[in-house]
Structure 1
Amino acid sequence: MRTALYVLLALAAPAFAGQTVYKWVDEKGVTHFSDQPVAGAEKVELSGGANRPASPPPAYAPSAPQETPVKAGPAYSRFVIVNPQQDQAIINTGGTVTVQLAATPSIDARHTVALYLDGAPVAGFSGDSHEFSNMPRGTHTVKAVISAGGQTIQETPVVTFHVRQESGAQPPVGPAMRSKPPKRAAGNKLVTKQPSFAALNGSKAAIDPRTNLPVKTKPAPVVPPKAPAKPKPAPVGQNTGK
């Protein structure tokens, strides 16, 4: 009988899960259960598998914050070409041009510096300066590149410069060559046409349009006068008297 009661209670446990049941044994040794309190009864808490309290959640351990990788900046805070300067005109140096670099901090001994003139590498370049000789007239570009292990680390901005060289074949013209300022026309207007050599110097000689200079003419060759012919001598024994 007691066993049957326990079986019934076990089957009914899911229905009474979470409820309070009172248990007592009478004078005949029979065990009773009730959901109402009874004097001398033992208080029993019923629980079923379906209503078992959930297991406590695992303790939350905050993960360490992930560090955002910092992007590496340039190896040098300053790496530029200080000479020549952008759009500088280099005049009458006989084709000599000096290129000067500047870097902050100083260039690492493990790094290699290459110099490029008009896009082509310059052979024999080392250090932070280089002097070109016989630089052709015209416009040129120059830049420097730092590399290590065959990979480019940093490079300077491209600098454009201009080589100007005066010559006899192409003499300078313009306001710098004027011997005196041109006269202003009536109405205080400037002369808009470049005066010629003849206008500036009062010369009436023919002007070469290529050089704006007088045409040089060769003087006529001087022919010496012919000496008078000498009389022929008379034959020997001939009477030349009248």
Structure 2
Amino acid sequence: MRILLIVLCLLSVAAQATVYKWVDKDGNIHYSDQPHSNAQQVQLNENTDNQVSMAPVKPVNIAGATAVTEQKAIYQVSILSPHHEETIRDNAGDFTVTGDVQPQLASGHYLQLYIDGIATTDAQTSALFSLKDIDRGEHKLQLKVIQQNGKVLASSSEITIFLHQAGLIKPAIPAPSVKRANG
């Protein structure tokens, strides 16, 4: 068994070291580990192995870094207008949401408005959101403070608003029924 392993190891080393190169009748260059007519053996340099070296990693005080991040992440977020269960009447479905965040946002932290659980605006540093073309009906609004990587740091209470739009469809008026007398 040992002899078989030794022979296989020697064959694999020998097979890895031999590469053949030849040019076909169309001028295309080919490489192979199998000999071919008119093939020349290619000598490989010893320095063809890729070596990557990295600088040593400096240890970081994880407890201190976490404390600083958590300290920056303490926010009080609220929606100032519209108010909870307010009815908004706008036929175009346009209205403005005003929020408040305390303390002021740190660098890399943003506000994002969610309508019915879906982020409907881009993250921004301003607490004023102008919404356009919102469908009529009941909607739930929530304001969140997020980091650049999308991690939610704080969120406001969810409020419910009702958006009313005047309808253009008039109810159908039934035609008056005419009774005929038989006679």
Higher relative contact order (CA 8 A, sep 6+): 2
More strand by share: 2
Structure 2-normalised TM-score?
0.49
Structure 1-normalised TM-score?
0.38
Larger Rg: 1
More helix by share: 2
